[in-house]
Amino acid sequence: MPIQTIETQPFSDQKPGTSGLRKRTERFAVPHYVETFVQSIFDSLEGFRGKTLVIGGDGRYFNDTAIQRIIKIAAANGFGAVKVGQGGLLSTPGASHVIRHSRAFGGIILSASHNPGGPDGDFGIKYNVGNGGPAPEKLTDAIYAHTKTITRYLTYDVPDIDLSRLGVQQVRGMTVEVIDPVADYAELMQQLFDFDRIRALFASGFRMQFDAMHAVTGPYATRILEDLLGAPKGTVINGVPLPDFGGGHPDPNLVYAKPLYDLMMGPDAPDFGAASDGDGDRNLIIGRGRFVTPSDSLAILAANAPRAPGYAAGIAGIARSMPTSAAADRVAEKLGIEMHETPTGWKFFGNLLDAGRVTICGEESAGTGSNHVREKDGLWAVLLWLNILAARGESVDDIVRDHWATYGRNYYTRHDYDEVDATAATALMAALRERLPTLAGSRLDGKMVASADDFTYLDPVDGSVSGQQGVRLIFSDGSRIVFRLSGTGTVGATLRVYLERYEPAHGQHDLDTQSALAPLIAIAEAVAGIRARTGRDAPSVIT
């Protein structure tokens, strides 16, 4: 059967964002939309003939439809083999590991991460390169350029693959291997962490609840926590992935994982609570009576990583996204290791990890990970926490307080204004940028602005420069306000305002976060005119 060449036309809206192409599902359902984007990816790559492509997604509605089409396009374009997770499932970190472990040419991940799924929800397609990490900007730019000029895609008119059957099948000259999505990943986790010690912790009566939010980590968490580590059955809740995530919003934050939060703050709280998002790369960590902010979690994990066998030799350096709090910087300073501040998005960590300059990375948006893969990894963070809890024999709250006593506390919050008018949001950012030169050196509500800029990143490994990564106001006492627009939203614009203030060691560490940051919140409103420009009285989500 010959290769089919199907005529197509460019779509004007296929520019990859912070994490691949993300749109409403109905947009992806438009004829040729998926095919055009996937062919544009392949047209941007060189040297993949005969090589392996990894494919998997978070199981959301349209996952299997997209996978069947991608397999046929991959075959027609000359890939030699595809590895695909059974049922079309692979968590994002799981896919990253399979790409690395099988020395694949790259991979395609189907997910809109923490956004809701279903016919009225969101869908996404992302390409990852051979190191297992998201495509760097120069590649996503090339993909975008191809989407603007594409005229045809290649495919085969052949039956679908049976994604439920483990083992090898054939699409013309290409082999398709349906793999157990969990096996390789579980193996890797056993190399990094002290499973015996964590097993002993559970055997001693330690109680945990893990909310998989009906998303992809269900099978991973059940296998690792309950089967391999002996946590009691029922430790993992909402463990079956569903195409619409059970109607939920699979974002493990205090708004969408509220039931877990309430449990952990209640009288019968277990010792440890955790959750992960749609595609398994984010994490939520809550101890009994103690929510751990992602920025603090990054700092604590970095400080304690050598307690896990995989990091026993110490860590080379830490990287965080610019809006993430500076808590981790204090750990790096004390350890005398490198610290890097990158733009938002995991793709900027890849070069630093590949060059061995950093071992642990994190973002304030509930993303933490290490050099074991090239994506953030929700379950990895949970397992490192478990390893540290088992090794230290203290509660989450004790560990957090001890950390603040040693390093000081960075009070931190993010205020999101979702689905605001895109023109208004762009105008707000433009007005801020225009004021930058006069803001530096001025006083706002009595606080001295030490510097005001739009963050530009110079990648120390490949010398590439990324500009316009967020407006920063840094005050002379070290506190900060950062404004940026989301690159992952699918409707209108999302304005993110990040607020941070440092309280030194042995200072006041028991204030309510929003109260502790109230003066900065007021300055942010005064400087940006959020209410007047967006018509919003309050943020949609506070994390």
C-beta of 479 vs 543, nearer to Zn ion: 543
C-alpha to C-alpha distance for 265 and 287, rounded to whole angstroms: 9
Do residues 121 and 115 make contact, with C-beta atoms less than 8 angstroms apart?
yes
CA 387 vs CA 51, 229, 294, 540: distances in Å: 37, 11, 18, 35
Check residue 39 for interaction with Zn ion (CB under 5 A). no
The region of 111-119, 250-258, 405-413, 530-538 touching Zn ion under the rule CB under 5 A is: 111-119
Amino acid at 53: L
C-beta of 8 vs 18, nearer to Zn ion: 18
- Return all residues near 55 (Cβ < 8 A) that are at least 6 apart: 67, 70, 71, 74, 82, 83, 84, 85, 88, 90, 107, 108, 110
Give residue number: closest CB to ligand G1P.
Answer: 486
Residue 487 touches which member of Zn ion, ligand G1P, none, C-beta under 5-8 Å by kind:
ligand G1P
C-beta of 18 vs 175, nearer to ligand G1P: 18
C-beta of 8 vs 18, nearer to ligand G1P: 18
DSSP three-state, residue 318: strand
Check residue 113 for interaction with Zn ion (CB under 5 A). yes
Catalytically active residues are 113
Check residue 469 for interaction with Zn ion (CB under 5 A). no
Cβ neighbours around 261 below 10 Å, total: 20
C-beta of 87 vs 93, nearer to Zn ion: 93
Do residues 108 and 55 make contact, with C-beta atoms less than 8 angstroms apart?
yes
CB 347 → ligand G1P: shortest distance, Å?
9
Query: Which segments of 80-207 are extended strands (E)?
Result: 81-89, 106-110, 122-128, 152-155, 167-171, 174-179
Check residue 329 for interaction with Zn ion (CB under 5 A). no
C-beta of 23 vs 409, nearer to Zn ion: 23
Check residue 377 for interaction with Zn ion (CB under 5 A). no
- Return all residues near 343 (Cβ < 8 A) that are at least 6 apart: 321, 322, 455, 457, 466, 469, 470
Residue 345 touches which member of Zn ion, ligand G1P, none, C-beta under 5-8 Å by kind:
ligand G1P
The binding site for ligand G1P (CB under 6 A) comprises 18-19, 113, 321, 344-346, 363, 365, 367, 486-488, 496
Cβ neighbours around 52 below 10 Å, total: 23
Residue 133 touches which member of Zn ion, ligand G1P, none, C-beta under 5-8 Å by kind:
none
CB 114 → ligand G1P: shortest distance, Å?
7
Residue 238 touches which member of ligand G1P, Zn ion, none, C-beta under 5-8 Å by kind:
none
Residue 486 touches which member of ligand G1P, Zn ion, none, C-beta under 5-8 Å by kind:
ligand G1P
Dihedral sign (CA 298, 303, 309, 313): positive
Return the residue matching tokens 């941007």: 44
CA 500 vs CA 23, 95, 418, 428, 472: distances in Å: 31, 34, 21, 21, 11
Check residue 277 for interaction with Zn ion (CB under 5 A). yes
Point out which residues bind Zn ion (CB under 5 A).
113, 277, 279, 281-282
